Chains A and B, each alone.
Chain A
Amino acid sequence: MRAADTAGTPEAPGPGASPGLDDLVASWRSWVERRETLTASDIDELEGHLLDRVDALRAAGLHDDEAFLVAVKRLGAVDDLSHEYARVHSERLWKQLVLDDSAVADERRGGASGAASGVDADSGLGAASDAGFAGASDGAAAASRSVPFWNRANGLAVALLLGVGAGLAVKVAAELTTDPAFFLRNGAVLVLPFLAAWFAWRHRPTLGVLLGIAGAFLAAGLVLNLYPWGGPGATELFGAPPAATELLASLHAAVALWLVTGLAYVGDGWRTSAGRMDFVRFSGEWVVYYVLIALVGAGLSALTIGVFSTIDVDVAWFFNDWVLPCAIPGAVLVAAWLVDAKQRVIENIAPVLTKVFTPLFTIMLLALVVAAVLQWNVVEAERELLIAFDLVLVVVLALLVYSYSSRDPLQRAGWFERIQLVMLAAALVVDLFVLVAMVGRTGEFGWSPNKTASLGLNVILLVNLAWSAWLQLGFLRGRVPFDRLERWQTGYLPVYLAWAAIVAVAFPVLFGFE
């Protein structure tokens, strides 16, 4: 397109000057694109103006680079400009969820897989901006005509379809059995394949990865349903609680399957740290969206039931029989779709929560250390206490990882990293107290499945956090690059997968399905 440009202005001086101008404009564009208040269409308009001005200046005898400099200068400071745009389009500071097709058009414009995060703004700039011009001319109108419905709005139709599928799978299972333990065991096996299918459709993993995932689901389904839990008499009576190993296996299988499902999300990137971090990011955002949807859904249900009860119509049965079994699995897919759709539109929320709660959680842990030292009764530790401390460590880890996931890797360590180190140290101290007490008690009372599972998890988390603290210290002293911290966390993920698989598969056998 720039070739046609120079052909149209034969008076352009200097042979071979055109590529230089192309590069200049491309770098200007990438600079301007960082302003959030300017959309691609705004920049197209400004770039057109810039080129008009350059053409006029070249006609007046200036060289390409001179003309470019003058034209950029005449355009005005980009900061002022974006400030002015922000005043006119204040809504852009509160970015909107893209429900039309412009996102798809953007993706096609920006080249392959714009949805994958970490799109390198500096690569293929020339191509991207050229394509931008070609696509921008009549914007979304042209795009919507050529985009099939399943690609519109970031694939909302597919997500909804799969969500309905997940809901129906649970509903059908509910028709076939009334055993609550069945749902406990099979919840993940029933719902997560639909999420994996969504990821597979979005991110196109290789056949090998897909077969691996299918194999894992099959294995989990077989293990969870063929193991002789408790015996039929126990589960048919509603009151009978499921066996300890059954609970453990169900819980750990769900965790393992979530991680396996993540393989479909990252596709072939599962070997790379960046790919795994992507899925970690996804998981955090997904949890936030799911909780929000669940809260609003519960509120809406309660309101509906209440409103109908005022006119003596009972709709509670409908919610019990249809809305709950279908909505809870369906929302899994909707939340996943939201994460993908919003990813490019808005800042992530999980890291924001992390920033808010890390200092508060640190204070809580410090208070706990003080209380434990003063009371010295941690030694009386019960199993429940160990579980509570597993949760504490999980929260510490989550706060750590989600702050990593959104951190600018080049930024230097600051106050927040120091707080993180304090939090890690406090968590480690508290946990060491608990661990020492637990090992003593286990020696006294023997190994129960629950105790063993929580002890194992505790040790795994402790190793992760201890090494994280060490790396964090190195980072604060400027000895360790941030990249090492990130790679340690992502490299540790398979450990969790392996432990979850062991608890799900081996523990029931080891402890005789007790």
Chain B
Amino acid sequence: MRIGKDLVAAAATPVVLGILSEGESYGYAILQQVSRLSGGELEWSDGMLYPLLHRLERQGLVASEWRQSDAGRPRKHYRLSPTGAAALAEQRRQWTVVGDVLDKLWSVQGGPTPALGGA
């Protein structure tokens, strides 16, 4: 299964904020996390994550800091700001509404339900 481009783009912000709400992280680790959580279904081009992170930083939703990695490389760490936490909560409410609507629609229609987990 391939998730559509628009949906990937729409989900990007809440996913990144959600991952950062569990603790600070850096680009490569965030991508690994996304890949792991989605079972490899949600895949971004590696580089595109960084412009997104920068946009979130501009909006004040995340803050960044350069640190040394274990290998001695400098690495930019991102963490959620209080504004970001509020934005995440808001996004969560919106997505819940959307998810509920879809759930209800699809359970009422009883149509061809997607076999969850088995694409």
Contacts and interface: CB of A to CB of B under 8 A. Distances in A.
B40 interface: no
Contacts of A81: 47-48, 50-51
Interface stretch (B67-75, B92-100, B104-112): B67-75
A503 B55 CA distance: 62
B68 A4 contact: no
Contacts of B36: none
A44 B54 contact: no
State which size class the interface on B falls in.
20 to 34
Nearest to A83: B51
A75 B27 contact: no
A88 B49 CA distance: 12
A88 B57 CA distance: 10
A52 interface: yes
A139 B58 contact: no
A175 to B, nearest CB: 54
Nearest to B67: A137
Given A42-B50, A53-B46, A88-B51, 7 more contacts: A8-B71, A51-B73, A76-B46, A76-B47, A84-B51, A88-B54, A89-B54
A139 B28 contact: no
Interface residues of A, number: 31
Given A88-B51, A88-B58, A75 B46 contact: yes
29 contacts: A1-B72, A4-B71, A5-B72, A5-B73, A8-B70, A8-B71, A42-B54, A45-B76, A46-B47, A46-B50, A48-B28, A48-B69, A48-B73, A48-B76, A49-B46, A49-B50, A53-B46, A75-B45, A75-B46, A75-B47, A76-B45, A76-B46, A80-B45, A80-B48, A81-B51, A85-B50, A85-B51, A137-B66, A137-B67
B111 to A, nearest CB: 37
Question: Which 8 residue pairs across A and B have the least CB separation, nearest first?
Answer: A76-B45, A52-B28, A84-B51, A76-B47, A137-B74, A75-B47, A81-B47, A74-B46
Contacts of A52: 28
Interface string A54-95: 010000000000000001001110001100110111000000
A1 B72 CA distance: 7
A49 B27 contact: yes
A83 to B, nearest CB: 9
Query: In this complex, which of B27, B50, B70 has the most chain A Cβ atoms within 10 angstroms of its Cβ?
Result: B50
A45 B46 CA distance: 12
A87 B51 contact: yes
Nearest to B56: A88
Contacts of B28: 48-49, 52-53
A136 interface: yes
Interface string B26-41: 1110000000000000
Contact of A45 (B27, B45, B70, B72): B27
Contacts of A8: 70-72
A75 B50 CA distance: 10
A138 interface: yes
A48 B50 contact: no
Contacts of A51: 71, 73
A57 to B, nearest CB: 12
A496 interface: no
Given A45-B27, A45-B76, A88 B45 contact: no
A9 B72 CA distance: 12
B86 to A, nearest CB: 21
Contact of A4 (B51, B52, B72): B72
Nearest to B64: A45
A513 interface: no
